[in-house]
Chains A and B, each alone.
Chain A
Amino acid sequence: MNFDDTPQEAEFRAIARAWIGANAPKQYEEDLRKSSLGRTALKNADILDVAKAWQKKKADAGWACLHWPKEYGGRGSSPIERVIWQQEEGPFGQLSRMFIIGHGMCGPTMMAFAREEHKRTYLPPLASGEKVWCQLFSEPAGGSDLAGLRTRAEKDGDDWVINGQKIWTSGAHYSDYGILLTRTDPTVPKHKGLTMFFLDMKSPGVEVRPIKQASGASDFNEVYFTNVRIPDHQRLGEVGDGWNVSLTTLMNERSAIGAAVSTGFPELFEYCSSLMLDDGPAIEDRAVRSKLANWAVKASGLKYTSMRAISALSRGERPGPENSIGKLVAGSMIQDVATYALDLQGAAGVVSGEDAELAGRFQAMLLRAPGTRVEGGTDEIMRNIIAERVLGLPGDIRVDKDVPFNKIPTKGR
């Protein structure tokens, strides 16, 4: 039981640290350190530009997507080196959140299912941040029940013709490419008639409409497809095998999102350490301390759970469904932490934005948090995964399992 690097790991860490020290965009360090869920605000700069510039610099020096093979723009590093890099990159790692869908989900799916020439063409610019990718899965009729999606793909010569609508597509408004899950056969049960593609988001017939979120920001979109043509060679996996392909994406999604969760605790602890309440310092109030202690052990529990996972990785074990707990615990925790921070501010907690305490950091957190509990699988879906895949409990009863998709009732009574 130790936290020590092996000699090779220590050497890798030293090289990474030196390179980051010499090259990172230090002028944004303070802003990045202060950003947490809800806000990654850079003063006087567009975050996408800054993120792209940092990613390109990393790619040119061989530090992008470390665990990807070199020929696809990576470094061919071990999983543990990737973790060391993340530790060393620190607050600058916040910038890669702009690429998390492309790097965490689309890239691995391409790597598993695209043709070799496509991998060599599309993956290096994805790794270097020059091209941004999005994930076109969810639809009004298919969220948790993803296989309920209705966007059609019909074969026409060497092309497929796409019609339908996606929703909640993060980053579609600045994405160059996307991976797209479609229905190619509505006459078979829902999981069997799906097919996956990747496409150029600038293709004729693709229309992206930003959605204003509950938080007021517009990070996700509706995407409409009207007779969009995709050549067959951009199909990922076999016709009808889209469900399997999407499982690869979702598994990667959970480990990508799971690794990046914030809990809000360090921010709250720092805040309470300096906050004065009516009858003295917040940190000396018994009720405050009890709340803090409860969240402290959740935050440290998550931290050491991920270290145990990293140790397993370094032994060559694969991450399993137990990684679902990070998002599950952190999601509602950050919501509760933000609620409590505002409670401590009393009536003033209602003010948000730059006029508010700490420039509205906790208010922003509060307004973003509900999305964390939904994106990448809701809390309920995470609990199902733990119950079924970790504890071995029976799957939910699926009344539509063997019914052809076009015979499934579409509304409640």
Chain B
Amino acid sequence: MNFDFSDDQKQLRDQARKFLAEKCSPKAVRVVLDGKAPYDKELWKGLAEMGFLGVAIPEDFGGAGAGHLELCVIAEEMGRANAPVPFSSTVYLAAEALLIAGSAAQKKKWLPAIASGDAIGTLALFEGKGNPAPKNVKLAAANGVLNGVKKPVADGTIADFAVVAARTGSSGRDSDISLFLVDLKAGGVEVKSLTNLDPTRGQAEIIFKDCKAEPLGAAGEGWSILTQVLDRAAVLCAFEQVGGSDRALEMGRDYALDRIAFGRQIGSFQAVKHMLADMYVSATLARSNSYYGAWALSTNAAELPEAAAAARISATQAFQHCAKNNIQVHGGMGFTWEFDCHMYYRRANAMALGLGSLSYWEDQLIDRMRKKNAA
């Protein structure tokens, strides 16, 4: 057994961490946070040059063909740096959907463009309130033309294309849902920016009006493809969340060593020590669950659905827990715009919702565990 990343993968992590420390300082993140740019274009280009955008894309399609464990390693660093780029939308959602269900032509068109940083992609799934469920997909597709509204769509304002979930039947079954690929620059769409919890990653409303779209995957298979995409993205996001948890814990620890009150370092007060110890515990449990998810993802194991849900829940809880207590450790400073604590708090709470809420994944996990036990 080697339930750990390999030395090569650890080297990749060091490389990514170093790169991001240089190119993605909190100051750089703030340019996007303050609304001065929709995302960090320089960083995006740099990530492409480093080969990080295409790390799990096969070489035939312009990627590095390394694999999903390597992508997990990079995801963790993206989360640690709180990177203000459309990485999760493009790489975990759009690229994975293409890898799973795209035709040769579709892969050829979009995957190399993703790897080179020339195309930003996203997934248009939600339509207002509610979690991922076929019944919540109302946007209609008829004869390759879409009509309806999607919101929120992560990175929708900057995306070049979207994978869109649409209703193609009225049987009441999962097979009513199909996926489509839409070139967002080709007309038939109107995009509005939405203010949101985490301005370092934009959210949009996209209105599709007689918009031409090509099918992605077979008709009626949309829901089963989506489930796979969401499971994979759940593992990858979990690594971002683990990276964010670790960074929030580290910030809290460093501040606790630095700040003096009542003539002592605040880190010598047990209430503070124990708060940080509990942050460490949740971050560790999340990391371990995520490693299991990574193993399942990289081997395409039958355990993936269960492992993905466990990683998702654990990492969501850990990031929220670490981010909120990081502010608490910092006291009033933690609540200023000036300090970076709120960036992680925002990211933690936005990420907790992006693939469906915590309660949705709790429900999924128990369903999946039951199925496994029944089998």
Residue contact B280 to A386, C-beta cutoff 8 Å: yes
Residue contact A302 to B276, C-beta cutoff 8 Å: no
- Tell me if B314 counts as interface (CB < 8 A to partner A): yes
Residue contact A300 to B289, C-beta cutoff 8 Å: yes
Question: A45-77: which have CB < 8 Å to B?
Answer: none
Residue contact A300 to B310, C-beta cutoff 8 Å: yes
Q: Which residues does chain A contribute within 8 Å of B365, judged by CB atoms?
A: 293, 296-297
Residue contact A290 to B270, C-beta cutoff 8 Å: no
Residue contact A391 to B253, C-beta cutoff 8 Å: yes
Q: Is the interface of B mostly helix, strand, loop or mixed?
A: helix
Question: B1-58: which have CB < 8 Å to A?
Answer: 1-6
A-contact bits for B338-360, CB 8 A (1 contact / 0 none)? 00000000000000000000010
- Tell me if A273 counts as interface (CB < 8 A to partner B): yes
Residue contact B291 to A396, C-beta cutoff 8 Å: no
Question: A274-309: which have CB < 8 Å to B?
Answer: 283, 286, 289-290, 292-294, 296-298, 300-305, 307-308
- Tell me if B219 counts as interface (CB < 8 A to partner A): no
Known A-B contacts A269-B369, A301-B288; A308 and B270 likewise in contact (beta carbons under 8 Å): no
Known A-B contacts A1-B5, A297-B289, A297-B365; A388 and B284 likewise in contact (beta carbons under 8 Å): no
Number of interface residues of A (CB under 8 A): 50
Chain B interface residue bracket vs A: 35 or more
Q: Which residues does chain B contribute within 8 Å of A305, judged by CB atoms?
A: 284-285, 288
Q: How far in angstroms is the closest Cβ of chain B from A326?
A: 10
Residue contact A297 to B280, C-beta cutoff 8 Å: no
- Tell me if B141 counts as interface (CB < 8 A to partner A): no
- Tell me if B208 counts as interface (CB < 8 A to partner A): no
Stretch of B131-139, B227-235, B292-300 that contacts chain A: B292-300
- Tell me if B142 counts as interface (CB < 8 A to partner A): no
Out of B257, B272, B313, which one reaches A297, CB within 8 Å? B313
- Tell me if B373 counts as interface (CB < 8 A to partner A): yes
Known A-B contacts A301-B314, A311-B4, A388-B273; A329 and B69 likewise in contact (beta carbons under 8 Å): no
Q: How far in angstroms is the closest Cβ of chain B from A275?
A: 13
Chain B, residue nearest A303 (CB) = B288
- Tell me if A394 counts as interface (CB < 8 A to partner B): yes
Residue contact B4 to A1, C-beta cutoff 8 Å: yes
Q: Which residues does chain A contribute within 8 Å of B1, judged by CB atoms?
A: 2-5, 9, 80, 307, 310-311, 314
Q: Which residues does chain B contribute within 8 Å of A328, judged by CB atoms?
A: 281
Residue contact B253 to A392, C-beta cutoff 8 Å: yes
Chain A, residue nearest B295 (CB) = A1
Residue contact A300 to B292, C-beta cutoff 8 Å: yes
How many angstroms from the CA of A387 to the CA of B277 in the assembled complex? 5
Known A-B contacts A4-B1, A296-B310, A383-B273; A301 and B289 likewise in contact (beta carbons under 8 Å): yes
Residue contact A297 to B310, C-beta cutoff 8 Å: yes
Q: Which residues does chain B contribute within 8 Å of A383, judged by CB atoms?
A: 270, 273-274, 277-278
Q: Which residues does chain B contribute within 8 Å of A380, judged by CB atoms?
A: 270, 274
Residue contact A386 to B4, C-beta cutoff 8 Å: no
- Tell me if A22 counts as interface (CB < 8 A to partner B): no
How many angstroms from the CA of A87 to the CA of B364 in the assembled complex? 29
Chain B, residue nearest A296 (CB) = B365
- Tell me if A40 counts as interface (CB < 8 A to partner B): no
Q: Which residues does chain B contribute within 8 Å of A310, judged by CB atoms?
A: 1, 3
How many angstroms from the CA of A386 to the CA of B69 in the assembled complex? 29
How many angstroms from the CA of A300 to the CA of B313 in the assembled complex? 11
- Tell me if A180 counts as interface (CB < 8 A to partner B): no
- Tell me if B286 counts as interface (CB < 8 A to partner A): yes
How many angstroms from the CA of A303 to the CA of B2 in the assembled complex? 14
Q: Which residues does chain A contribute within 8 Å of B309, judged by CB atoms?
A: 293
Residue contact A397 to B268, C-beta cutoff 8 Å: yes
- Tell me if A322 counts as interface (CB < 8 A to partner B): yes
How many angstroms from the CA of A329 to the CA of B317 in the assembled complex? 15
Out of B264, B272, B294, B362, which one reaches A294, CB within 8 Å? B362
How many angstroms from the CA of A220 to the CA of B353 in the assembled complex? 49
Q: How far in angstroms is the closest Cβ of chain B from A48?
A: 34
Residue contact A301 to B295, C-beta cutoff 8 Å: no
Q: How far in angstroms is the closest Cβ of chain B from A88?
A: 14
- Tell me if A196 counts as interface (CB < 8 A to partner B): no
Out of A9, A273, A293, A308, which one reaches B288, CB within 8 Å? A308
Residue contact A394 to B253, C-beta cutoff 8 Å: no
How many angstroms from the CA of A310 to the CA of B2 in the assembled complex? 9
A-contact bits for B319-331, CB 8 A (1 contact / 0 none)? 0000000000000
- Tell me if A390 counts as interface (CB < 8 A to partner B): yes
Residue contact B285 to A297, C-beta cutoff 8 Å: yes
Residue contact B270 to A384, C-beta cutoff 8 Å: yes
How many angstroms from the CA of A5 to the CA of B288 in the assembled complex? 19
How many angstroms from the CA of A393 to the CA of B276 in the assembled complex? 9
Chain B, residue nearest A300 (CB) = B310
- Tell me if B366 counts as interface (CB < 8 A to partner A): yes
Q: Which residues does chain A contribute within 8 Å of B4, judged by CB atoms?
A: 1, 308, 311-312
Residue contact A390 to B285, C-beta cutoff 8 Å: no
Question: B41-92: which have CB < 8 Å to A?
Answer: 69
How many angstroms from the CA of A9 to the CA of B292 in the assembled complex? 21
- Tell me if B265 counts as interface (CB < 8 A to partner A): yes
Q: Which residues does chain A contribute within 8 Å of B265, judged by CB atoms?
A: 394
How many angstroms from the CA of A390 to the CA of B273 in the assembled complex? 11
How many angstroms from the CA of A203 to the CA of B295 in the assembled complex? 56
Residue contact A308 to B285, C-beta cutoff 8 Å: no
Q: Which residues does chain A contribute within 8 Å of B310, judged by CB atoms?
A: 296-297, 300-301
Residue contact A391 to B284, C-beta cutoff 8 Å: no
Q: How far in angstroms is the closest Cβ of chain A from B352?
A: 14
Residue contact B285 to A296, C-beta cutoff 8 Å: no
Q: Which residues does chain B contribute within 8 Å of A396, judged by CB atoms?
A: 268, 270
Most buried by A among B310, B359, B373: B310
Q: Which residues does chain B contribute within 8 Å of A269, judged by CB atoms?
A: 369
User: What 9 A-B pairs come out closest when comparing CB atoms?
Assistant: A301-B285, A293-B362, A304-B288, A387-B273, A394-B268, A386-B277, A383-B277, A297-B314, A305-B288
- Chain B residues with a Cβ under 8 A of chain A: 1-6, 69, 249, 253, 256-257, 264-265, 267-268, 270, 272-274, 276-278, 280-281, 284-286, 288-289, 291-292, 294-295, 298-299, 309-310, 313-314, 317, 359, 361-363, 365-366, 369-370, 373
Given contacts A314-B2, A393-B253, A394-B264, 5 further A-B contacts (CB under 8 A): A273-B373, A289-B362, A296-B366, A297-B313, A308-B288
